[in-house]
Each structure stands twice: as structure tokens, then as C-alpha cells.
Amino acid sequence: MEKPHSDALVFFGVTGDLAYKQIFPALQALARRGELEMPVIGVARSDWSPEQFRERVRDSLEKHGGVDEEAFKKLSARLQFLSGNYADDDTYRRLRELLGASKHPLHYLAIPPSTFELVAQGLAKSGCGDGARIIVEKPFGRDLESAQSLNLTLHKFFAEDAIFRMDHYLGKEAVENLHYFRFANTFVEPVWNSNYIASVQITMAEQFGVQGRGAFYEEVGALRDVVQNHLLQVLALLTMEPPQGSDVDSMRDEKLRVLEAMRPLSPAELVRGQFEGYRDEEGVAPGSVVETFAALRLHIDNERWKGVPFYIRAGKQLPVTGTEVLVRLKQPAHPVFSADRSCCENHFRFRLSPDVMIAIGARTKLPGQSMVGEATELVAQRHAHEEMTPYERLLGDAMHGDTALFTRGDTVEAAWRIVDPVLGNAAPALPYAPNTWGPAAASDIIAGDGGWNELSIEGKKDDPK
């Protein structure tokens, strides 16, 4: 059955950072493509006038991607602002009035998770939740228990296929391509297992710090901010079994299965770090032990991945900004070219940002009499940036009711189960100097597996966002 298109967008937390940096530019892009033929209602506690709201949107666009006057005109004609307290029934009554004839509003909750229940309940009681969809931002809860309780709460008011748990990494073209590349190429599957793969590592490096989001970051740290969600999703796409069908749930079922096979993390296989200067950031406690860096080793207890180590490293104030996956293959069993010392490592390299790249590491012989070669890369794909921003893509999908690129409730819980044992102060937060690759101990974790992949990206000091 064709799913109805959303006919209004309601954005809770519209005065916040996410709206300013990501959502307004995405809305302008949707308006440009003619995909925003609906009212856009911003809700927040602040008492803004409609002009102030429009000014804020224009200002956001000027700083993030530029104003397209024609699209901006279309967008501003749709904007409305509702000032209200989330605990007050009257806020939802006025929202229902503003929604007018809308039958399928899309409610976007970019607000603290502690207020989700209040808002979901307010929407349901006032009728604003009828026929509606709801988007909730990450992190979804703060640990397994709170994620379970959040799922229970949301399910009281919304069916699973009306809940869109946002993880913007899933809206990245390069992340979708991991799935495509694996299952669209005959040559990949035969080697994609412990017979041929020696190790897999994912690095998400950011050259910038917490950028004024100190208070938010104090509540999360690197594990909750990017590992539990973005990076475990990437790992699931790299390691799951082929989906049985092409429908949304076949894929989500396989993701769930592989996440369930991942062993919960152990403090002995985790290095936490904190960049020097973090404690001086606004909103950060002077004695904070929150991690701005994490490096960890994971294991997947199933037939395909028995004995293969998986590594994840993520941090702020590192030497470059970029995210890359490196899949190292084992050496040939019989060393034919024993004189060629560095022979014969092959790999797959997937760069997810800032540019997009898929490359296969191979060796070729150097001209000359001896059988000595050099490492080379066959580049399968390379482009400078994504066509659409993840938020543009995912907002459009949610409006169509397409849940494929959103995380299902059970999958989010499975991911929390993996990180749960190492949340909090499970390992000391070791200091590291800005512009380095984190605490020295991070190298020990991967020492036997060829070391970390040092991303060769020309770093820019500015946050790309």
C-alpha cells in the first residue's frame, strides 16, 4: 500500500544548534526541489516573532551552504513559529490549530531525550499524533536501560513504522555504498570472511573540538556520541549477512543479527582519552572524566568472523578530519616472493568523508630484474562530496514514510548492549595533546594488526559543517 506523504513538518527544538547547522539548509534544499509543499512549524520555548524566526533561518543559510533566494522565498512562506512550554497542554492545542487540515504531520524531536515522553504524550493527547510520524534524534537514550524505556514510551503512542530514529550517518551516500559495494560485486563475497580478512578498522577523526557544545558533550562523550550509533552502524553494514530480500526489514533483520553477535565491549580492550584543554571549555566540569577519544577492539562471535579483530577509533582534536574504513586481507599462505619484504598485503579502503572513495590495495612488480614490487591502489570510486546532505536525504525519506535508513528499536538496543559495559569511567580518560592521534596507549590495542591507518587527508582546521 502506498504510504501517505507527510503534509506538515513540526520541528521541536527549532532554536537549537541542529536546526541552525543542518535542518534549515536541508529544508531550503527540499524547497528547491519542490519537495516542501507543506507548512513548517517551529516549536520552542523562546518567544520569537515570525520575523525573528525567518531571520534566524536566513542567518543559518548564510553560514551553512548559502542562501538560494528563490528557494528561501518558498521556504519562508511556509514557516510558522509556535512558542510554548513542552509540559503545557495548551502548546499542543495551539499546535493542532496551526496544523489545520493536516492529516499526516511529521514531528521532529530535536530536544533532550528526557523530554521525549512529555512531547510524545502531548502530541497523542491533543490529536497532533493521529496519522503522524515522529523523528527522534540520537543518541537514543544513554544506555541500554534508558533506550528500552524510551522504546516502550514511544510505542505507547506510535507504531514502529511511524518512528524514525535518526542516525545521519545512514543518510550518507558513502555509507549506503558500503552495503551496495559488498552485495553488488561477485568478487567481494568469497573473500569477505575470516579465511581472507585479517582485520577491519574504522577511524573517525575530527580536527576540531566540541565547538561550544561542551554541556551536551559532557552528557555523552565519544562512545555515546558516535560509537554506539554511527560507527556500530557502519560496522554492521560491513559485517552483516546478505539480506534475504530487498524489503526494509530484511536488511534491518540482518543488521540486528550481526549486532547481537558482537561481544559486549570489555574495559581491557578500550582506551579512553581526553584532549588537553577540554576541561576549560564552556559547560565542561573542571574535573571532567568524559572521553573525547575512544579506541577499542571488538569481536563478532559467528561463523563468518571467528577470530577476526575489529577496531574502532574516534576522537576530537586529532590531526585531520575524515572517516575511513580499512579492511586488511591476510598474506598469501605460501610466500612466493620472499625477497619482497613488505609483500603481500592487500586491502579494501572505504573513505566515507570528507570525500568519498573506494579503493582496493594491490601490489605490482617494480621494473627490473628482481621480483620486488610496490603497493598500489585501484580506485573504484572517487568523488569530492555527497550529492545531498544526509539531513536532506533523510528528511525526504521520512516524509515519504520510508524507514530504510533509520534505525529500528531492537537494533538500537542491540548496539547499546555492546557499549553498555564500558560506559562511564570504565577505563581512565588519558590526556592527549591536541593535534595528535590520541593517547599513546591507543596504538597498543592494534599493535599486532599492523597499526592504525593514518588517514592521508589534507586537514582543514574549520569544521566542515
Name the residues that contact ligand BG6, by CB under 6 A: 168, 206, 225-226, 353, 465
Residue 307: all three cell numbers together: 577470530
> What's the Rg (C-alpha) of the chain?
23
Per the structure block, which three cell numbers stand in for 387?
A: 550529492
Judged by beta carbon, residue 45 or residue 465, the one nearer ligand BG6 is 465
Q: Specify the residue, 7 or 386, whose C-beta has the smaller distance to ligand BG6.
A: 386
14 within 8 A of 43, measured Cβ to Cβ:
yes
CB 226 → ligand BG6: shortest distance, Å? Answer: 6
Minimum CB separation from ligand BG6 for residue 273, in Å?
Answer: 15
What are the distances in angstroms from CA 436 to CA 66, 92, 325, 428, 431? 33, 49, 19, 18, 11
Backbone angles phi, psi at 97, to 5 degrees: -60, -45
CA 319 to chain CA centroid, Å, is 21
Please identify, using beta-carbon distances, which residue of 225 and 420 lies nearer to ligand BG6: 225
Burial class (CB in 10 A: 0-12, 13-18, 19+), 259: buried
Instruction: Quote the least distance from Cβ 136 to ligand BG6, whole Å.
Output: 13
Residues in Cβ contact with 454 at an 8 Å cutoff, skipping those fewer than 6 apart: 437
Least gap, CB of 412 to ligand BG6 (angstroms) = 14
CB of 130 to ligand BG6, least distance (A): 31
Nearest residue to 321 (alpha-carbon basis) of 351, 297, 289, 300: 351
Active site residue 230: yes
Whole-Å CA distances, 127 to 9, 123, 322 = 15, 6, 44
Question: Of the listed 230, 347, 383, 400, which one is catalytic?
Answer: 230
Chain residue whose CB lies nearest ligand BG6 = 225
User: Any alpha helices (H) in 316-454, and if so which ranges?
Assistant: 390-400, 409-419, 441-444
- Helix (H) or strand (E) run with residue 31 in it: helix 24-32
CB-wise, 168 or 347, nearer to ligand BG6? 168
Nearer of residues 167 and 254 to ligand BG6, judged by Cβ: 167
Catalytic residues: 230
